[in-house]
């Protein structure tokens, strides 16, 4: 993580004469605090689309930023776009109708009045996805509810406007079958109850929108924060993970189109690199049957996670659809492919102080290590939970081939905790060099000691640990995906401590990932179903919540700059579920 200086003046104490000045109030003239104001250039620079909708490889593109700020207690906001261009403006306040103006001068002085929203359906539509999910009636069946959160919100928000629209039971069945084909694993006996909850529940909420609970009001600290976004890709992209590099640039991977985006946030310049394709590679890679119904797809590798070498700055990328590891040199702009023979689905990647590359193999229940000095891979087999699981893991290759030949995945039986797929997921390196990992379906974490290659697995008192990070003192911070909280694990005494997320509504929130600012001892969390980023100060226990400009901001990763600003990307799958169908790279400057 390194500091990057933004060329746009975003947090200046004294703004230039050209700043846009706004006074925002309600219809009666009372100031509206924490009004979200988003600015876009009326005629923005956008990445070209002459290569199947994306820029030609290695051609330099300029992308105009989108800037969002929040009004103070007096309803005032001064914001500098730093370019003398006409702007499109949107003002958003929960409980009020959005106000939009086009062709606004960059140095305008405006008084804006918002009209209160009184339509119950429109008020409910303003709420994030987790509010709608929280209102669904699961009949007190907590296992069914957690399964719905874990499996039906695995890659996209459950409860967003795309998911809650009217569907027949037959249409919901088609949705379920498509979801399972893409990789979700709800217990077989829960499939029909899930369909009935969604079919009846969303119909009831559409007819009775007053049942949808309200998210917490936006907080005072927002008036000192700014958000900058750069549009990347299109509605068929999936900007999965990202890396803030020591060179000041941000690298984002389009998982569905196998394009590596390099963005310089200081200038808005972007370059796209296509990842290597070997002779004989199929669309979908080793899982060619998985995404056959997806309408636009170029992936043969499925680039997933990123890590930077402390030795030479090379970027290591996990191509989840292959038995490979990509190495990208950001100086020479060249790729190197490293091959291994066993294991399935390279997932999250980290690099230790000895420049060894560690990554989870999500579908084969392994952790892999690549030794850059020797060029050799080592695979660590993790313990199976049962004989049944051992057999299931041994049959993974057979199941994959049957899937590629057209076997419907929803025909295969799945038990309550997905025996046969414990799914090693998140991974991180502790200050003492030990390697920690989480197993999503096995409800466990574990540790590998490179000194003796020992492996220890520890059951968690919560369901579905997804991604994790280690803080400056060696404690683990874990996202409890379907439980609306993050959890601290202390190796020193083996204790688990819960930290419920303030964005949760009736305990509904799905934190996909988190990261630890070791310099400040703060934890940043993806509020994946609430369109937020959240920050926990470890010492004080104080939370702060930051709403994001677009509804359906399904974020999966967090990067932290040396100045304390935060990077993430909107990576909903599919991206056309995002409010305007546009994935973005997001930078949050938290302010005071």
For the residues of 534-577, what is the DSSP string, one character each? EEEETTT--EEEEE-SSSS--B---EE-TTS-EEEEB--SSGGG
Report, as an integer, the average pLDDT of 327-343.
98
Residue 139 DSSP label: T
Report, as an integer, the average pLDDT of 461-476.
98
Report, as an integer, the average pLDDT of 545-552.
99
The angle formed by the CA atoms of residues 336, 341 and 344, to the nearest 5 degrees, is 95
Q: Are residues 113 and 143 in the same domain?
A: no
Residues 6+ apart with CB under 8 A from 340: 323, 324, 325, 368, 370, 377, 379
**Burial class for 23, CB neighbours closer than 10 Å (0-12, 13-18, 19+):** middle
Lowest-confidence segment of 371-380, 404-413, 464-473, 552-561 by average pLDDT: 404-413
Contact 435, 351 (CB under 8 A): no
What the block records as the tokens of 71 is 């009004």
57, part of any domain: yes
Q: Are residues 29 and 81 in the same domain?
A: yes
Domain count within the chain: 2
- Give the rounded percent of residues in the chain with a pLDDT score beyond 90: 95
What the block records as the tokens of 144 is 């069914």
Confidence of residue 11 (pLDDT cuts 50, 70, 90): very low
What's the CA dihedral at 359, 365, 371, 375 to 10 degrees? -110
164, part of any domain: yes
Q: Are residues 100 and 26 in the same domain?
A: yes
Say whether pLDDT at 14 is over 70: no
205, part of any domain: yes
Say whether pLDDT at 241 is over 80: yes
162, part of any domain: yes
232, part of any domain: no
- What backbone phi and psi angles, to 5 degrees, belong to 403? -60, -45
Q: Are residues 107 and 143 in the same domain?
A: no
Q: How far apart are CA 583 and CA 592, in angstroms?
A: 28
Where helices occur in 91-154 by DSSP H, the ranges are: 120-125, 129-134, 142-152
Q: How far apart are CA 188 and CA 208, in angstroms?
A: 31
User: Of residues 269 and 16, which shows the higher confidence score?
Assistant: 269
Q: Are residues 97 and 141 in the same domain?
A: no
The residue out of 84, 118, 152 marking a domain boundary is 118
Q: Output the pLDDT for position 441.
A: 98
What's the CA dihedral at 495, 496, 497, 500 to 10 degrees? 180
Report, as an integer, the average pLDDT of 366-380.
98
The residue out of 193, 211, 229 marking a domain boundary is 211
The residue out of 155, 181, 211 marking a domain boundary is 211
Confidence of residue 6 (pLDDT cuts 50, 70, 90): very low
Angle between helix 169-182 and helix 191-207 axes, rounded to 10 deg: 130
Q: Are residues 25 and 92 in the same domain?
A: yes
The end-to-end CA distance of the chain, in Å, is 20
What's the CA dihedral at 184, 189, 192, 196 to 10 degrees? -100
60, part of any domain: yes
Confidence of residue 592 (pLDDT cuts 50, 70, 90): confident
Residue 34, domain CATH: 2.60.40.1120
Where helices occur in 414-461 by DSSP H, the ranges are: none
Q: Are residues 106 and 148 in the same domain?
A: no
What mean pLDDT, rounded, does the chain reach?
95
Q: Are residues 113 and 150 in the same domain?
A: no
Q: Are residues 38 and 108 in the same domain?
A: yes
At residue 137, the 3 state secondary structure works out as coil
Report, as an integer, the average pLDDT of 55-59.
96
- What backbone phi and psi angles, to 5 degrees, belong to 193? -60, -35
Half-sphere exposure of 577 (CA within 13 A, CB side): 25
Q: How far apart are CA 367 and CA 423, in angstroms?
A: 10
Q: Output the pLDDT for position 83.
A: 86
Q: How far apart are CA 531 and CA 347, in angstroms?
A: 24
Q: How far apart are CA 34 and CA 72, in angstroms?
A: 6
Q: Are residues 92 and 170 in the same domain?
A: no
Q: Output the pLDDT for position 18.
A: 73
Contact 111, 196 (CB under 8 A): no
Contact 481, 475 (CB under 8 A): no
Beta bridge partners of 91: 37, 99
Q: Output the pLDDT for position 82.
A: 76
Span 574-584, pLDDT tens digits? 999 999 999 99
The angle formed by the CA atoms of residues 350, 354 and 355, to the nearest 5 degrees, is 50
Q: How far apart are CA 529 and CA 512, in angstroms?
A: 9
Contacts by 81-86 with C-beta closer than 8 Å and gap 24+? 81/8, 81/20, 81/39, 81/41, 81/106, 82/7, 82/8, 82/9, 83/41, 84/18, 85/41, 85/42, 85/43, 86/41, 86/42, 86/43
24, part of any domain: yes
In which domain, by residue range, is 45 found? Answer: 20-118
Q: Are residues 107 and 188 in the same domain?
A: no
Say whether pLDDT at 112 is over 80: yes
181, part of any domain: yes
Q: Output the pLDDT for position 8.
A: 34
Contact 315, 262 (CB under 8 A): no
Pairing outcome for strands 36-41 and 87-92 = antiparallel
Q: Output the pLDDT for position 2.
A: 38
């Amino acid at each position: 993580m390194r500091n990057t200086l933004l060329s746009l003046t975003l947090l200046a104490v004294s703004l230039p004469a050209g700043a846009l000045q706004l006074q925002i109030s309600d219809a009666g003239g009372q100031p509206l605090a924490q009004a979200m104001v988003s600015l876009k250039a009326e005629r923005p620079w956008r990445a070209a689309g002459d290569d199947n909708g994306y820029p030609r490889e290695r051609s330099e593109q300029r992308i105009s930023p989108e800037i969002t700020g929040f009004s103070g207690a007096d309803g005032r906001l001064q914001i500098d776009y730093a370019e003398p261009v006409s702007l499109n403006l949107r003002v958003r306040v929960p409980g009020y109708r959005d106000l939009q103006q086009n062709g606004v001068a960059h140095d305008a002085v405006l008084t804006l009045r918002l009209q209160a929203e009184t339509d119950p359906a429109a008020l409910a539509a303003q709420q994030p996805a987790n509010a709608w999910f929280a209102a669904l009636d699961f009949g007190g069946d907590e296992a069914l509810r957690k399964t719905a959160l874990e499996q039906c919100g695995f890659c996209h928000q459950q409860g967003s406007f795309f998911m809650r629209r009217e569907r027949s039971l037959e249409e919901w069945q088609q949705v379920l079958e498509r979801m399972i084909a893409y990789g979700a694993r709800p217990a077989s006996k829960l499939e029909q109850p899930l369909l009935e909850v969604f079919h009846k529940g969303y119909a009831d909420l559409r007819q009775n929108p007053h049942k949808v609970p309200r998210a917490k009001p936006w907080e005072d600290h927002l008036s000192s924060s700014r958000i900058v976004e750069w549009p990347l890709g299109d509605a068929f992209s999936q900007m999965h993970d990202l890396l803030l590099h020591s060179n000041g640039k941000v690298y984002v991977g389009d998982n569905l189109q196998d394009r590596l985006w390099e963005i310089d946030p200081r200038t808005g310049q972007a370059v796209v690199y296509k990842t290597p394709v070997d002779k004989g590679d199929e669309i979908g890679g080793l899982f060619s049957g998985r995404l056959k119904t997806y309408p636009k797809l170029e992936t043969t590798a499925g680039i997933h996670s990123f890590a930077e070498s402390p030795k030479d700055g090379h970027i290591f990328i996990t191509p989840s659809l292959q038995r490979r590891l990509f190495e990208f040199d950001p100086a020479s702009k060249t790729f190197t492919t490293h091959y291994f023979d066993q294991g399935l689905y390279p997932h999250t990647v980290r690099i230790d102080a000895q420049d060894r590359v560690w990554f989870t193999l999500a579908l084969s229940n392994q952790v892999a290590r690549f030794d850059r000095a020797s060029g050799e891979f080592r695979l660590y087999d993790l313990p199976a939970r049962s004989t049944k699981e051992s057999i299931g893991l041994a049959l993974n290759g057979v199941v994959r081939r049957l899937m590629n030949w057209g076997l419907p995945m929803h025909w295969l039986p799945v038990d309550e905790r997905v025996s046969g797929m414990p799914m090693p997921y998140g991974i991180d390196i502790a200050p003492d060099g030990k390697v920690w990992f989480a197993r999503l379906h096995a409800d466990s974490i574990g540790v590998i000691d490179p000194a003796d290659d020992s492996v220890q697995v520890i059951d968690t008192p919560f369901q579905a640990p997804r991604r994790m990070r280690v803080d400056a003192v060696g404690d683990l911070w874990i996202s409890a995906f379907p439980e609306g909280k993050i959890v601290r694990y202390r190796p020193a005494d083996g204790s688990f401590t819960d930290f419920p997320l303030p964005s949760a509504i009736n305990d509904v929130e799905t934190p996909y990932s988190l990261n630890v600012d070791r310099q400040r001892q703060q934890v940043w969390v993806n509020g994946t179903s609430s369109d937020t980023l959240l920050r926990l100060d470890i010492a004080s226990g104080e939370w702060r919540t930051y709403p994001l400009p677009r509804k359906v901001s399904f974020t999966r990763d967090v990067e932290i700059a040396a100045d304390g600003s935060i990077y993430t990307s909107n990576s909903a799958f599919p991206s056309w579920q995002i409010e305007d169908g546009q994935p973005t790279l997001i930078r949050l400057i938290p302010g005071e």
